[in-house]
């Protein structure tokens, strides 16, 4: 190997072809390969390397590399295979400079909310459409940064939820004219703009989706440079029960435009995480 250092992960440990300091790499409890790649990048920077290079086909790695740049600030590049035939180099420091510090910090949560390896994408909404809606809302970046740094700020009645609702409304319809997803669903459906299956999620469904996105961005990705990630494991709780989250009001329109109301409790379990072996 001509004096080169070769590292390979083996479960929670790391194997090396020669003696080196591995205290910042093991024992590692990361359940995702994406974050472990960034952990190795941070280790390379700590060893004095100023240029790093990663080749990947996963857009999540392209997004969350800002976590390493946030703490270690290496001068490096990231090669991304768009598909089997297309390839491009993405200089991380240039992208970070173009976006600015705030948008760079908001990018991981934006990625998890609009679809990543572990969260669903909004139906028929591309990343370009979502990014255009995000940049048009000046206060949404502050919301994404605040929630990433402190997920406990998130609640269904707080201002952050209202901003995210407005963001989702803009993704589905720029000219809808309302700020809340339930109102937008009613307006788009009644005027015939969209069918029921092509509407944005309800407020209750969006609330659960954002919580899953926060788990990914604020716990898995934000702790990518820590060898021990403290991830809430709701599956180990013995007191998990089905509890009513909210009352969902369904409107049924009869032949004489008489509106009937039907109330049903909406049940859900606390957000669960799955750990890979």
Please report which confidence band the pLDDT of residue 59 belongs to, taking 50, 70 and 90 as the band edges. Answer: confident
What are the pLDDT digits (tens) for 72-88? 555 455 555 555 677 87
What are the pLDDT digits (tens) for 116-175? 988 999 988 899 999 999 999 989 999 999 999 998 889 898 999 999 999 999 998 888
How high is the pLDDT of residue 116?
92
What are the pLDDT digits (tens) for 217-267? 998 998 888 899 888 765 454 544 444 444 444 444 444 334 334 334 444
What are the pLDDT digits (tens) for 175-192? 888 889 999 888 888 887
Phi and psi at residue 176, to the nearest 5° = -65, -40
Distance CA(254)–CA(23), nearest Å, equals 68
How high is the pLDDT of residue 248?
44
What are the pLDDT digits (tens) for 19-35? 888 999 999 999 888 89
How high is the pLDDT of residue 242?
44
Distance CA(185)–CA(204), nearest Å, equals 13
Domain residue spans of the chain? 7-223
How high is the pLDDT of residue 71?
57
pTM value is 0.78
**Residue 90 in 3-state DSSP?**
strand
In SS3 terms, 218-235 reads as HHHHCCCCCCCCCCCCHH
Alpha-carbon 221 to chain mean position: 8
Q: Give the number of other Cβ atoms within 10 Å of residue 192's Cβ.
A: 7
Across the range 184-206, mean pLDDT stands at: 85
């Amino acid at each position: 190997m001509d004096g080169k250092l070769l590292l390979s992960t083996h479960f929670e440990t790391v194997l090396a072809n020669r003696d080196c300091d591995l205290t910042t790499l093991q024992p590692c409890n990361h359940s995702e390969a994406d974050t472990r790649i960034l952990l190795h990048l941070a280790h390379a920077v700590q060893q004095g390397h100023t240029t790093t290079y990663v080749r990947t086909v996963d857009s999540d790695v392209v997004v969350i590399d800002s976590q390493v740049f946030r703490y270690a600030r290496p001068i490096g590049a990231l090669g991304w295979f768009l598909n089997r035939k297309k390839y491009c180099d993405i200089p991380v420091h240039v992208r970070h400079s173009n976006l600015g510090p705030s948008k760079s910090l908001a990018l991981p949560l934006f990625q998890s909310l609009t679809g990543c390896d572990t969260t669903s994408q909004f139906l028929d909404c591309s990343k370009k459409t979502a990014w255009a809606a995000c940049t048009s809302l000046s206060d949404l970046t502050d919301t994404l940064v605040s929630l990433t740094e402190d997920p406990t700020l998130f609640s269904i009645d707080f201002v952050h939820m209202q901003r995210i609702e407005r963001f989702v409304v803009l993704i589905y319809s720029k000219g809808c004219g309302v700020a809340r997803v339930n109102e937008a669903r009613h307006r788009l459906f009644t005027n015939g703009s969209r069918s029921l299956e092509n509407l944005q999620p309800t407020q209750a469904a969006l609330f659960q989706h954002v919580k899953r996105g926060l788990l990914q961005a604020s716990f898995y990705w934000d702790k990518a440079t820590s060898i021990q990630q403290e991830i809430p494991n709701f599956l180990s709780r013995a007191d998990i029960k089905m509890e009513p989250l909210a009352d969902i009001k369904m409107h049924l329109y009869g032949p004489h435009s008489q509106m009937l109301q039907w109330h049903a409790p909406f049940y859900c379990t606390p957000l669960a995480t799955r750990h890979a072996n």
